[in-house]
């Protein structure tokens, strides 16, 4: 194979015949097709909130929200992914913006979705007829095939982060979509959704409704609980007990209370807290992720590249790219989502921590 | 077989030879051994708190607590179980009493245990070196092979309900026991255990320490959460939504947040709330259970027997015994524990609801 | 507690009041109730086939088989279990005998059952209307609630080993029984059952009918397959490869092809082969087991007791009793069944191998 | 949104700013990104064995096999996938050809692979040092990260079908590759691999080595077993019993004996048999598949397109494309592989059978 002459006319004729019959030889492209380690097209990239938010505001004045376009969502298009609106090969991330009094109409799709709220309040997302308040720090789920629409009940606009598995569903040709009624069925604005009232009790399961499904029955994970869980891990560390991920680094996974697994079947969602000046271990893993700075500032070391981050900034991390995060004086609160459940379920998961296995 | 003559000398000789060789024929006892439906020896029975508590107090004055006897626990001995100290064939239930300043020394055993607190406060149970406060309405776990000891930090006595799978472990010859140090390692009295600080956040899982085990990592299920979960189910019912078990009846299972399954591998633990005058469906199921009235009063219909119950009373329900519970004016809050996980895991579970399948 | 005076009149009065109220103190019986290690009442015991078979033959002449008694089965009653017809606290074992042309009528029960055939042929067991041939070395399943009856199509009697979880189901009050029609619905005598034709193909699953249930869909595990699997393990060992359990000791588990788990939810069934003069490690584990010598002879070391065994002999091993098996010149083929799945599912499983952890 | 003017200069400026900041609006591409039903780029396509095999033979004379190119494998490039060497968005399929005496060198990769043998014999694939014979009708596994190389021991060439999840691993950036030694470690040619000798016994599990992994421990699924399983289903149908998928259609899944699940974590492998003139139901499902005719001839109805198929022909079926298969006089034996496990594990699975839910 190494000795073959590519200008051999017989070989050229063979390759032409291959092409005519929709065939491609492995031996000329094995290296590209089966590289030694992942060679993502996606790149590590940071979007600044200072850019994102003003653009969202401008969209609000220029683009109406309504049936057809469905959402005023601006996707973070990874510069390595050739004009695709994908943050990574599996994950879609966008800033969604809803002006005063606006309504994003009801629909559903097979893609799994969540919202994570950096700031603001006054919007309710109605998930399977259950109105769910959206406030700073909350994670809100709209799992695959759940009906959902949003409405802003205030005279202030609101923007948040949307995360979906659109690229994965596209890659797998698993995308279904259905329009709901043009108007929302329930415009009430309860503080807690019915899903929360049933399910958001620590390690308590209603006797009714405990059937296992692909996703969590809990529509909202409130900041007050997330914050308390992170704080407790660091306090335990202060007292000399285990609980934190590593020195100065607390983290929780948003879970499905019915199974203990991930809240969504294709997306892991996590919240991380780093103390002032804390550093994570340099780690790389199979699969891609998206981070948003919820609070504080610091630095991401992505391979050989150092990127400063401030509140609201969004960072993509391609597969097998080493990541280290360093918090500044302020400490860092970080929301993360990733395709880790996909890797784990399909048997592709690998992780390498600097100093441990390298 | 129906025509055999039991007074046939050849048959008598055969039976004698059986006996000599440690053999027993099936055909003479098939009916007893394999009845049409379960024929429990255990009976439905009620113990009155009005009897239990004074006896516990008397024990406190007469019997020291300490190494050897280990616990001042008074077991509820089912009248049908021939002097065995068992509430049912699988479950052990006792009133444990700890006087002012007393210490129940550290030990561990393969039997799974919990405490449920009817009233009082000021005792801490130290589980694997983690001090766990015990207060009214709390469920505290000491799963199989977890070290645990208790100490009363006040000048008031305290009594609570202990539940264990002692009879099951005995039936299965699976009982191990080990003494710990004579004194407790940690006499601190934190409001929350470390286990709670890590795990008692709704549907949030620490990134560290999420390994699946046979039991919940959560040492305490607090009344404030249980109460809120039950109240929410009834409020949802008031608003016309699902969530309650049946009309006027709310219930939660104490769960393992890592798996969503039961908190203990052999014992299901639940809290039930009936509105004033609410009635449960008449139901029977394979497996036995023990109920304690946490609040209110009412009536248990156990087969053909009606038994009034007041706060603190304990009721045993043998396998396949029809149960209906009726709340009085006060409504009823009921703690329940049962061997249901055993039946489910071993494939023996059956349930029959009056009017549905009978 | 250690210092209390049992002849204290106040204490005696307290204990009398306990008794009156169906209460029993833990402190006077903690040691019996919660021993340091399992203290089984069941004993290690051997039944000789040379005794069992002639008694079965005598039963055949004296006791008809038919409706009511249902089966001509002679139970091995563990000498430690006080006249109960139980081989161990969870397992029932019996020799069943069916004379020429006899029929054991159709019934079903919640107890899980199997037959293991030491010798003979010509009997079919009809399981859920599927006739299943019984021949030497075969394991035949009649899982909980499956209809089953047997008929002998020949002019020769046949005897085999029955194994059930009767004691476990009794302990748990989970026993249901239902009579079927007096005569068998299908007296055909196919070489292979329909269940085998669908399921007895190595690692192949029919696209239809692959639903997970509590037990294996396969009604028969044939000796030719079991023998081949054991032989292969020892041949691999001869060639220097792994596969055998330990030196000279091959073993297989009879599995549920749908889940890979045990064939029955409460009983593990295994076949073991020891080369001539091979010895197993001395091992003890939580849970009890019953062994039958299928071929060859040798010796069981059960605690401090050595018991010689010949073809057909049956041996019971109580929980936590050390066992070592030594094969004689002939080597040893051994069928084993145990309650190990119960211990594993309920979190009670422990094992100790001499030289490893003792 | 429907009323926005795309020639509005402010809007154009906004879109330019989006582009500069690596952003893309959802509202202009929502329909493409989230279609109502899957809109695969891949197309249904048939490759004729009459074309494939001669091209493979020509490759054999022109292209050496060896280190670097690694395999003489000719990939079936779906005409809809823009020059990618992918049969479907998740599956790679190729004809691999090995000349007399040739060796394909040892390597391993994270991608899961299998070989399915249409015809020929004399090649052994050495999987984790275990030589595995390849013969007509056999399915051979080389799961992710298993070492493997092939060698042809005869003076005849051999060709077979390779199936891998290369496109999926590429989409997920989960591809790892490692070269092994240039020569094979074991050139022996046993009839059965060691994996088979341990695992290819119906529903028997070695006591050692039963740990759950992501894939089957069984390296080879032999045609004699597959054929017998299919034949039995149709014989049961002849006798009036269930077992076949539908009238005249038998099918088996190649399974992992440890779990009962799919043999590979990302690829379902199946064998189907249609009686002469039998027709399958018209069915569509989420996910893509590749079929190869093992024997017989017939017709695939793929959406509105009818495609005749002969022995060896390969057909791709994109996601959500209706398929019906009609057998000719000869009947049809079909090997199929698909990404169904991916859809099931990730919660995307859907199926629609004509006449049932349409």
Give the separation between CA B341 and CA A248, rounded to whole angstroms: 39
pLDDT category of residue A357 using cuts at 50, 70 and 90 = low
Give the separation between CA C26 and CA B69, rounded to whole angstroms: 7
| φ/ψ of residue C178, rounded to 5 | -145, 135
Pick A18's closest partner by Cβ from D65, D69, D74.
D74
- Residue pLDDT, tens place only, B131-146: 999 999 999 999 999 9
Interchain pair A204, B226: CB under 8 A: yes
Interface partners of chain C (CB pairs < 8 Å, 3 or more) are B, D
Q: Tokens in use for D95?
A: 């004809």
Interchain pair B243, A212: CB under 8 A: no
Interchain pair B68, C40: CB under 8 A: no
Q: Confirm whether B11 is domain-assigned.
A: no
Rounded to the nearest angstrom, the minimum Cα separation between D224 and chain A is 30
pLDDT at C1 over 60: no
Q: Confirm whether C206 is domain-assigned.
A: no
- Residue pLDDT, tens place only, C11-29: 999 999 999 999 999 999 9
Number of H helices, E strands in chain B: 7, 22
Coil, strand or helix at C322: coil
Give the separation between CA B34 and CA B60, rounded to whole angstroms: 45
pLDDT category of residue C272 using cuts at 50, 70 and 90 = very high
pLDDT at C6 over 80: no
Average pLDDT estimate for A21-40: 95
pLDDT category of residue A4 using cuts at 50, 70 and 90 = low
pLDDT at A167 over 90: yes
pLDDT at B203 over 80: yes
Q: What is the mean pLDDT of chain B?
A: 95
Query: In the prediction, which pLDDT does C2 show?
Result: 45
Coil, strand or helix at C69: coil
Interface partners of chain A (CB pairs < 8 Å, 3 or more) are B, D
User: CA triplet D191, D193, D199: central angle to 5 degrees?
Assistant: 125
Contact C206, C257 (CB under 8 A): no
Q: Tokens in use for C61?
A: 């002449």
Give the separation between CA B312 and CA B161, rounded to whole angstroms: 9
pLDDT at C127 over 70: yes
pLDDT category of residue B185 using cuts at 50, 70 and 90 = confident
Interface residue ranges in chain A relative to chain B, Cβ cutoff 8 Å: 194, 197-210, 212, 216, 218, 221, 225-226, 228-229, 232-233, 235-236, 241-245, 251-260, 263, 270
User: Would the CA dihedral through B85, B90, B94, B96 be positive or negative?
Assistant: positive
Query: In the prediction, which pLDDT does A358 show?
Result: 44
Rounded to the nearest angstrom, the minimum Cα separation between D110 and chain C is 23
Which residues does B316 contact at the CB level (< 8 Å), separation at least 6? B42, B43, B44, B45, B76, B78, B87, B88, B93, B288, B289, B290
For the beta sheet containing B220-221, the strands, ordered from the edge strand earlier in sequence to the opposite edge, are B220-221, B139-142, B113-116, B158-164, B92-98, B73-76, C23-25
* Of A146-160, D4-18, D95-109, D249-263, minimum mean pLDDT range: D4-18
Average pLDDT estimate for C140-161: 97
Pick A4's closest partner by Cβ from D33, D63, D94.
D63
Q: Which residues of A touch B254 (CB under 8 A)?
A: 203-204
Q: Which residues of C touch B159 (CB under 8 A)?
A: none
- Residue pLDDT, tens place only, B265-284: 999 999 999 999 999 999 99
Rounded to the nearest angstrom, the minimum Cα separation between B146 and chain C is 13
Q: Which residues of D touch C236 (CB under 8 A)?
A: 194, 197-198
Number of H helices, E strands in chain A: 7, 22
Give the separation between CA B204 and CA B216, rounded to whole angstroms: 14
pLDDT at D3 over 80: no
Alpha carbons within 13 A on the beta-carbon side of C185: 12
Q: Which residues of C touch B98 (CB under 8 A)?
A: none
In total, how many domains does chain D have? 1
Q: What is the mean pLDDT of chain D?
A: 95
Chains C and A are touching, with contact defined as 3 or more CB–CB pairs separated by less than 8 Å: no
pLDDT at B212 over 90: no
pLDDT at A1 over 80: no
Query: In the prediction, which pLDDT does D184 show?
Result: 85
Interface partners of chain B (CB pairs < 8 Å, 3 or more) are A, C
Q: Which residues of C touch D240 (CB under 8 A)?
A: none
Give the separation between CA B130 and CA B219, rounded to whole angstroms: 9
**pLDDT > 70: what percent of chain A?**
97
Query: In the prediction, which pLDDT does C5 show?
Result: 60
Q: Confirm whether D96 is domain-assigned.
A: yes
Find the closest chain C residue to D225 by CA distance: C201
Pick A347's closest partner by Cβ from D18, D45, D214.
D214
Q: What is the mean pLDDT of chain C?
A: 95
Q: Which residues of B touch C346 (CB under 8 A)?
A: 168, 172, 174, 265-266, 342, 345
Average pLDDT estimate for C296-312: 97
User: Would the CA dihedral through C70, C71, C74, C80 be positive or negative?
Assistant: negative
pLDDT at B71 over 70: yes
Average pLDDT estimate for C137-148: 98
Chains B and C are touching, with contact defined as 3 or more CB–CB pairs separated by less than 8 Å: yes
Pick B205's closest partner by Cβ from A199, A209, A260.
A260
Q: Confirm whether C18 is domain-assigned.
A: no
Interchain pair A1, D286: CB under 8 A: no
Contact C248, D221 (CB under 8 A): no
Q: Tokens in use for A85?
A: 């609106």
Q: Which residues of D touch C334 (CB under 8 A)?
A: none
pLDDT category of residue A356 using cuts at 50, 70 and 90 = confident
**pLDDT > 90: what percent of chain C?**
91
CATH number at residue D82: 2.60.120.10
Interchain pair D198, C257: CB under 8 A: no
Find the closest chain A residue to D347 by CA distance: A214
Pick A75's closest partner by Cβ from D23, D31, D40.
D23
Best D5, D19, D22, D290 member to test A by mutation, with max A CBs in 10 Å, is D22
How many other CB atoms are there within 10 angstroms of residue D81's CB atom? 20
B59-62 contact pairs (CB < 8 A, 24+): B59/B97, B59/C14, B59/C25, B60/B97, B60/B99, B60/B157, B62/C4, B62/C8, B62/C10, B62/C11, B62/C14
Average pLDDT estimate for D87-104: 97
**pLDDT > 70: what percent of chain C?**
97
Give the separation between CA B81 and CA B87, rounded to whole angstroms: 8
Give the separation between CA D247 and CA D326, rounded to whole angstroms: 12
For helices A9-20 and D49-62, the axis angle rounded to 10 degrees is: 160
Of D42, D112, D143, whose CA–CA distance to D84 is shortest?
D42
Across B289-300, b (16+ Cβ under 10 Å) vs e yields bbbbbbbbbbbb
Rounded to the nearest angstrom, the minimum Cα separation between A9 and chain D is 10
Cβ-Cβ contacts under 8 Å between A and B: the total is 150
Of D313, D314, D308, whose CA–CA distance to D326 is shortest?
D308
Across A259-279, b (16+ Cβ under 10 Å) vs e yields bbbbbbbbbbbbbbbbbeebb
The residues pairing with C205 across neighbouring beta strands, listed in sequence order, are D253
The separation between CA D80 and the C-alpha centre of its own chain, rounded to angstroms, equals 18
- Residue pLDDT, tens place only, B26-68: 999 999 999 999 999 999 999 999 999 999 999 999 999 988 8
Q: Confirm whether A319 is domain-assigned.
A: yes
Q: Confirm whether B99 is domain-assigned.
A: yes
Best D174, D177, D182 member to test A by mutation, with max A CBs in 10 Å, is D174
- Residue pLDDT, tens place only, B76-98: 999 999 899 999 999 999 999 99
The residues pairing with C270 across neighbouring beta strands, listed in sequence order, are C253, C336
Interchain pair C347, B144: CB under 8 A: yes
- Report DSSP state, residue C282: P
Q: Tokens in use for C268?
A: 């593990």
Of C275, C272, C254, whose CA–CA distance to C323 is shortest?
C272
Rounded to the nearest angstrom, the minimum Cα separation between B228 and chain C is 31
Residue A260 lies in domain: 45-353
Contact B256, B205 (CB under 8 A): no
pLDDT category of residue D326 using cuts at 50, 70 and 90 = very high
Query: In the prediction, which pLDDT does B357 show?
Result: 53
Q: Confirm whether D4 is domain-assigned.
A: no
- Residue pLDDT, tens place only, C231-255: 999 999 999 999 999 999 999 999 9
Q: Which residues of A touch B208 (CB under 8 A)?
A: 242-245, 251
Q: Confirm whether C21 is domain-assigned.
A: no
Q: Tokens in use for D343?
A: 């859809």
Interface partners of chain D (CB pairs < 8 Å, 3 or more) are A, C
Find the closest chain C residue to D211 by CA distance: C260
Interchain pair C34, B4: CB under 8 A: no
């Amino acid at each position: 194979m190494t000795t073959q002459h590519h200008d051999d006319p017989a070989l050229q004729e063979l390759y032409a015949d291959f092409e005519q019959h929709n065939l491609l030889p492995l031996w000329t492209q094995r290296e590209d097709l089966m590289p030694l380690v992942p060679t993502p097209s996606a790149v590590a990239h940071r979007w600044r909130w200072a850019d994102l938010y003003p653009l969202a505001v401008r969209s609000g004045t220029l683009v109406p929200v309504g049936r057809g376009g469905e959402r005023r969502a601006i996707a973070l298009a990874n510069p390595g992914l050739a004009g695709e609106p994908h943050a990574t090969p599996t994950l879609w991330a966008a800033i969604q913006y809803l002006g005063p009094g606006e309504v994003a109409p009801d629909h559903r799709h097979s893609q799994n979705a969540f919202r994570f709220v950096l700031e603001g309040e006054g919007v309710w997302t109605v998930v399977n007829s259950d109105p769910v308040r959206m406030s700073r720090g909350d994670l809100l789920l709209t799992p695959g095939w759940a009906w959902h629409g949003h409405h802003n009940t205030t005279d202030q606009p609101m923007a948040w982060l949307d995360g979906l598995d659109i690229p994965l569903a596209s890659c797998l040709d698993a995308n279904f979509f259905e329009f709901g009624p043009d108007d929302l069925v329930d415009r009430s604005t309860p503080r807690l959704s019915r899903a929360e009232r049933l399910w958001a009790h620590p390690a308590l399961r209603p006797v009714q409704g405990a059937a296992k499904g692909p996703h969590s029955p809990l529509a909202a994970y409130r900041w007050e609980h997330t914050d308390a869980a992170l704080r407790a891990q660091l306090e335990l560390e202060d007292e000399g007990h285990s609980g934190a991920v590593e020195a100065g680094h607390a983290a929780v996974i948003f879970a499905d209370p019915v199974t203990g697994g991930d809240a969504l079947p294709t997306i892991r969602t996590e919240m991380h807290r780093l103390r002032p000046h804390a550093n994570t271990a340099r780690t790389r893993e199979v699969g891609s992720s998206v981070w948003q700075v919820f609070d504080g500032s610091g630095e991401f070391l992505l391979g050989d590249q150092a990127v400063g981050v401030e509140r609201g900034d969004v960072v993509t991390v391609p597969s097998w790219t080493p990541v280290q995060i360093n918090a500044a004086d302020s400490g860092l609160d970080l929301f993360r989502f990733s395709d880790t459940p996909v890797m784990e379920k399909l048997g592709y998961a690998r992780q390498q921590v600097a100093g441990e296995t390298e």
